[in-house]
Chain A
Amino acid sequence: MSKKADFVKFDKVDKSYDGKVLVVKDLNLDIEEGEFVTMLGPSGSGKTTCLMMLAGFETPTNGEIFLDNNPISNIPPHKRGIGMVFQNYALFPHMTVFENLAFPLKVRKMSQEDIEKKVDKALSMVSLGGFANRMPGQLSGGQQQRVAVARALVFDPSVVLMDEPLGALDKNLRESMQYEIKHIHESIGVTVVYVTHDQGEALTMSNRIAVFNDGKVQQLSSPDKLYEEPVNSFVAEFIGENNTFGGEVSEISNGTCKVKLEKGEIIANPISVKSVGEKTTVSIRPERALINPKDKMDNNQKGKIEEVIYHGDHTRVRLNLLGNSEFILKVPNSSQNLDIKLGNEINIGWNSHDARALDPK
C-alpha cells in the first residue's frame, strides 16, 4: 500500500478573525498518510487555529484544505470523519466510559454487537479494560485522557487531531502518556496531527514537527534536523537551549564564514547569510561547546565562569565569553577533573560547523 504524501494538504491557507490581523499567513503544509506531525509554537502562533480549521470548527479565510485530495472547507465537522482529542478531554460527563466510546458508533448507526466489540477493543488498547461502567468523573486525569484518546480512535478515523491533550497532566504522567500515544500511533498507523507548546513532547513523539510563529510555519522537519539544523534564529531559540552572538559577516568562503563581533571574531557555518557585511546571529548549542577540547577545533576562546548550577546529571555553567555573559555550557557530571570554579578562566572550543550563522534577531 503506497502512502499518500499529501494526505492532508493545507494549500495557501489564510485565516483572520477580525479582518485586520492574519493569525495564519499563507500556510502550505503536506502531511503524509500515517504520519505523526506536531504543530509546535508559542501561544498565539496560530497552531490551534490550524487544527480547528482542519477539524471544521473554523473556516479558512482564504485557500483550501484537502483531505485525501478532497477539498473539505464546505464539509461540516460531523461529516469529516476526523477524530479529535481536546485539551480538557471533553468527555461527556453524563455518560459512562462505555457510552462515551459508543457515541460515535451509535450516531453511525452500528449494531449493538459491533459497538460492544469495538468499544472493548478500543478500551483494551488504552489498557482501561475494566472501566467501561465508570463515569468520567470517577477517573483520574490520566485515565480520562486515555478514554478521550480511545474515543477519538474508536470509529477508525483516517486522521486524529490532538489539541494539547497532555497539558493538564503532571510531569511524570505526561511523559508516560507521550510514549503511550506514540505506541498507539505506531501500532494502528493512523495519521496524527498534534498541537503542543511543549518542545520536549514534540521532539519525543513526532515524525515531523512544524514550528509555528507569527502565523507562519518557520520550519518543518524531523525532530533531529529541527534541533541540530535550525534554519532561522527563531527555531534555534525556541527548540532547546541556545547560545547566540550577534555580529556582522566579514568574510565568506568554502562553506565557512567569519563573523565579526563587538569583541573578537568567530568562524561559523553560513546558513542564511550570503554576502559580506550582512548582519547575523550565530547560534551554538550548549553541548557542542567543550571545555579544554582535546581534538583540534577551529574556534577557541577563553571565558570566565560566572555561575555554576548543579542539575543532577549535568552541571550548567554560565560564562562570560566574547562579551556574551549568558553563554551556557552543559558539563556531564562524569568529567569531574575539570577546573570548574566560580571566577576561573577556561578554554572553550567548538567546530565552526556547529556555529550556525542565521538571520539577525
Chain B
Amino acid sequence: MSSETGKILTTDGIPLEESLKQAEKKNKIKAFLLVAPLLLFLIITYMIPIGDMFSRSIDDKMVTNMLPKTYKAMENWDGKELPPEEVFEAFYLDYKILVKNKTAGKLQTQLNYEKNGFKSVLKKLARKQKKFEEGNYKEQIMKVHKRWRNVEYWRAIKRRAPSYTYSKYLKGIDMYSNEDGKIVQVSEDRRIHRILWIRTVEVAFFVTLFCFLMAYPIAHLLETLPMKYSNLLMICVLLPFWTSLLVRTASWMILLQQQGIVNDFFVWTGLVADDNRPEMMYNKTGTYVAMTQILLPFMVLPLYSVMKTISPSLMRAGKSLGATPAVAFFKVYFPLTIPGIGAGCLLVFILAIGYYITPALVGGASGTLISNQIAYHMKSTLDWSFASAMGLMLLTGVLAIYWIYNKLVGVDNIKLG
C-alpha cells in the first residue's frame, strides 16, 4: 500500500478503484444492454407521449402562425394607444391571405375566445377588405367597424402573440386571464371543472375507504383459512380479473337498475315500496358500488401478502402477555399490516382517480368523473390541448399524492408482495 497517496494498489500497481472499474465495466455494459429494450420501450410508450401531451397542452402556435407579419409589426407597439399604421398594414396583409385560403374562420373563432364580439367584426372585415385600396390601411380598417378603433381588440390580438400559453390549465380549474391579463374565476354558472375535480377526489377517497373496509377482513380470512378453502376464496377474489371490465360493469347495470335484481329484492323484502324504487344507477351510488367491486382485488392482494408474513405466534404472544384479543389486534397485528394498507390504498386511490369506463357507464350525470370530461374533449369537442392539459393535471395530482405518501409513510414501507 502506498502511504503517500493513501490509495490501495493491486499487486500490479494499478489503483484498486480503477482496477475494479475495469473489471466491472463489461458486466455493466452487459447489464445495460439487457435493460436497454425495456428502457427504449418506456421512453417510446411513456416518456414521449407524456412529453407530447405536455407540448400540446401549452401549444398556442395557431394564431401566431396565422398572423406572422402582424406580430412582427406589433413588437414595437406598447399597447397603450391604437397601433401605428404598419400594424394595420401587416394585419391586412396577413388577413388577406387567410381569407384567400379560407382559413379565416379559425382565426375568428380563436380571437373570439379572447374577446367577445371579435367574430362579427372580423367577418365584416373579410367582406370589405376586397375593396381596399393601397395605402392608409389604418383609416380603411377603422372605417369597417367602430370596434377597430377600440384599443381593447388590438390588445386581444397581441395577447395571442406568444406561441405558448397556460390558459388551458387555467381553464381546467375554471379560471382564465381576462382582458387586463389578470387571472380570475369564470362566472359561477360555468364552473364545471372544479366540481368534477372535487367529485373525482371524493369518489376515489370513498372507493378507497370502502375497499379497505371490505378487503381487510377478506385478506385476514384468506390468511387464516386452511389451504383448501383459502385457495377457493382466492379464486373468488381474482375472478373479477378474469372477466372483462365491460362485462362486470354491464352486470352491475343489470343488478342496479330500477327494475333490476337488487331493487326487486328490496321490494320483495318490503324494504321499499314498489312505486318508490331507489335509483342506484346513473348517480354516485352506482359509481361507488361498481368501482369498489372492481378495485377490491387491488386492495386484497397487497394486504394478503403482508398479512401472510405476520407470524401467528405474534398474536399469541400478545395474548399470553395479557392483552385481550382486541388490544392484541390493535397494538400488535394492525400496526404490522400498515405497509400493506399503504400499498393497497395508494394503488386503489390512484386507479380510482383516473377511472373511466365504469363512471361513464353507470355514473350518469352526477357520477361522471374528470376522466370522462377528458374523454369528452378528446372525442367530441376535439380540444386535444385542453384534454392534454387536464390529463397532465391528473398526473401531477397523482404524483403529488405519491409525494405526500412518501413524506408521511415512506415509500420504502410499501409492500406489494
> Which A residues are closer than 8 A to B by beta carbons?
55-57, 76-84, 86-88, 90-94, 103-104, 107-108, 151-152, 155, 161
Contacts and interface: CB of A to CB of B under 8 A. Distances in A.
A79 B322 CA distance: 6
Interface string B284-321: 00000000000000000000000000010110111111
B336 A104 contact: no
A118 to B, nearest CB: 13
A77 B316 contact: yes
Contacts, number: 66
A79 B23 CA distance: 63
A152 B331 CA distance: 17
B323 A86 contact: no
A83 B316 CA distance: 11
B325 interface: yes
B320 A84 contact: yes
Contacts of A161: 320
Q: How large is the interface on B (under 10, 10 to 19, 20 to 34, 35 or more residues)?
A: 10 to 19
B332 interface: yes
Q: Which of B311, B321, B332, B336 has the most CB of A within 10 A?
A: B321
Given A103-B331, A107-B327, A90 B317 contact: yes
B244 interface: no
B317 A86 contact: yes
Contacts of B5: none
Contact of B336 (A79, A86, A94, A152): A94
A108 B322 CA distance: 7
Contacts of A77: 316, 319-320
Contacts of A152: 320-321
17 contacts: A55-B320, A56-B319, A76-B325, A78-B325, A83-B321, A87-B313, A88-B313, A90-B311, A90-B316, A91-B317, A103-B331, A107-B321, A107-B322, A107-B323, A107-B327, A152-B320, A155-B321
Nearest to B338: A94
A215 to B, nearest CB: 22
A91 to B, nearest CB: 8
B324 interface: yes
Contact of B313 (A81, A86, A107): A86
B322 A155 contact: yes
B228 to A, nearest CB: 14
B316 A84 contact: yes
B335 A83 contact: no
Contacts of B335: 94
Nearest to B324: A78
A103 B318 contact: yes
A56 B311 CA distance: 18
Contacts of A107: 321-324, 327
A104 B313 contact: no
A309 B349 CA distance: 68
Contacts of B336: 93-94
Contact of B314 (A80, A83, A90, A104): A90
B323 A84 contact: no
A175 B321 CA distance: 27
B317 A78 contact: no
Q: Can you list the 8 inter-chain pairs with the closest CB atoms, starting with the nearest?
A: A104-B321, A90-B317, A84-B320, A90-B313, A77-B319, A86-B313, A107-B323, A78-B319
B319 A92 contact: no
A86 B316 CA distance: 9
Interface in B328-351: 328, 331-332, 335-336
Contacts of B331: 103
A92 B332 CA distance: 7
